[in-house]
Every structure is written in structure tokens, then in C-alpha cells.
Amino acid sequence: MISRIKLVILFVFFLSNEAIAIDCVKAMNDAEKQICKDSNLNSLDIRLNVEYEHLSKLLNKDTKKKLLEIQKTWLSYRNNLNGRSDIADAYKKQRDFISFSTNAISILEVDPAKMFNDFTRIYKLTYDETGMIPEVSEITKFDEFYFVEFSSMRSRFYVINVSKNRIGILLESNVSIISPTTNGLFVLVSESFARHGVGGGALSIIYRDSKNDLGLSSMNLVNLSYDAESGGCGRGSSIGIEKAVEIGKYTTDKGKDSVILTLQLKEENCVIRSKVNKIRKFSITDGEIKEI
């Protein structure tokens, strides 16, 4: 059974149970003194502290320790700043991190302490490449796996394995889930693009692979091509389509020791305008896919 949920879980960064607001009576360095004298900077400091304390209540003891190290690094960075604009910018960026943590993902079954390094790596990757705080567009749960799609990073499709506390990238293109199978062995996904009127992509499969560190592997089954406006050959060779390939129906059946996936393909020769329906079958077991 697949359940679709949106933005229900929390990526956790830069949080601790200890207050970070400056005690202006004990302000020691120039940055702290400047923050205490400037009402706007002082307001930023207080707001950030409130957000830290709110999120720190959600964390376990081990995670707080790990995050405290990063918090101390940020405070050290802030305390070496001099200009008002630089200090304000540092607070803005840090609040962006907190905002992302609050509004993005939190998978409660996953121990954040074990996942911390991977979450941080992915967060930094998406933030650095887009210049935007990544927002999760959709999370799909499939047995012990979560498939995570970022609206600002549509080219990446992350998978989180709750039982193994692992996270990874399986496919790197515009991906949408078609359907899982009832036996829990694999999920079909479509990858698509459209350029200069030509549509294309692939039908891929994400399947169980116990030998893989993530517990899953992926494989391309069929490459697709078609007229993005009308489907099929459409304008044909005039836009560079020599053969149109589209997916019809698919079915699954239980084999002796495997699942049999049957794909119905619609192929059309765009030069002579001839159509043919093809059938392709695949035998799927844990860690292996064979065309039969």
C-alpha cells in the first residue's frame, strides 16, 4: 500500500537545547556588543534563539550533541564578523537553514543522528546548486522506503531506507512514480523531458536489491520518444522523430520464484508511418531483472 504525504517530516540542522541568544551583560567580543547595541540585530538574535529552542525539543540526546558542534562553528563565524550587513546576512542564512528544517522533511522513524551526515550533504548540495532553499514537493512511502522529490531539484530523486538508515540518489532526471506492485518487489517510474517539440524519456524500474547498500537498485527498461504536442509520430521527421515509442498497458503476474512484468509498447515508424504493438516481458527477483 502506497501512501502519499506532503511535507510531514523534518530534516534537522544546526539545532541544540542550549540557548544561543546573547546575554548583553556578558557580551565579550565586538560582534556581540554590536548586536546588543543595534535593535534590529538584537531582534534577529532573539528570533533565531526562539526557533532553535522550539526545534531542539524534538531532538534526542545524541543528535543534540552532534548539532551543538555545528552550532558552535556558526557562533564562532558570527563572532568574527564586523560589519552590520555581514552580521545581518549571517543571521538570515542561519534562519534559512532553520526554516528549511521546519518546513521540509522529518522522517520520524529514522534516527537523525545516524542520518545526519547524509542529510547535511544533500541539503548543502541542493542549496549550493540552486541558490534556493530546497522544498519538498512530495514524499511517497513504499514499505520501509521513502521516495523524496524536491520541487527546486526536479532532476534528482532521493530514496531513504528507514530500516538501514541510508539515503541515496537512484535516478537523476524528471521522475514521477507510476505505480508500485502489490508484492512490494518493485516500483515503476517514468522519466520525461520535452525539447523543441520532441518528447522523450524512459520507463525505469526501481527494484529490491538486498546486496545493495541502499536496499534498492534501478534499471532502464524502455526509451521513449514522441511528438510532445500530439503524441505518436505527429510531425515526424520534420522535428527529428524517426520512431515513436510509447507505453500502453502493463501487468504483473506471479512466477514460480519471481514476478513477471509484461509491458505493451506502441511503436510507430515515422518515415513510412507504420504502427506495431510489441510485448516485452521481464522476470524480476530480489537483485535481478531478466528479459524473457
* Alpha helices (H) along the chain: 30-37, 39-56, 61-79, 84-103, 112-130
Q: What gap in Å lies between CA 195 and CA 156, rounded to an integer? A: 19
* Cβ neighbourhood burial of 136 (10 Å; 0-12, 13-18, 19+): buried
Type of residue found at 167: I
Q: Determine how many CB atoms are found less than 10 A away from the CB of residue 144.
A: 13
Helix (H, G, I), strand (E, B), or coil: what is residue 141? strand
pLDDT at 11: 37
pLDDT at 276: 92
Sign of the torsion angle spanned by Cα atoms 180, 181, 185, 187: negative
Query: Nearest CA to 209 among 150, 243, 279, 159?
Result: 159
pLDDT at 101: 54
Q: Which residues of the chain have pLDDT under 70?
A: 1-20, 54-55, 57-60, 62-64, 66-67, 70, 96-139, 149-157, 162, 165, 172-184
Cβ density class 230-264: b for 16+ within 10 Å, e for less: eebbbebeebebeebbbbeebebeeeeebbebebe
pLDDT one-digit tens code per residue, 252-290? 888 788 889 899 998 999 988 899 999 999 999 888 999
pLDDT one-digit tens code per residue, 150-177? 655 555 667 777 677 677 777 766 666 6
pLDDT one-digit tens code per residue, 86-104? 999 888 878 766 655 554 4
Instruction: Parse the chain into domains and list their residue ranges.
Output: 174-292
pLDDT at 86: 92
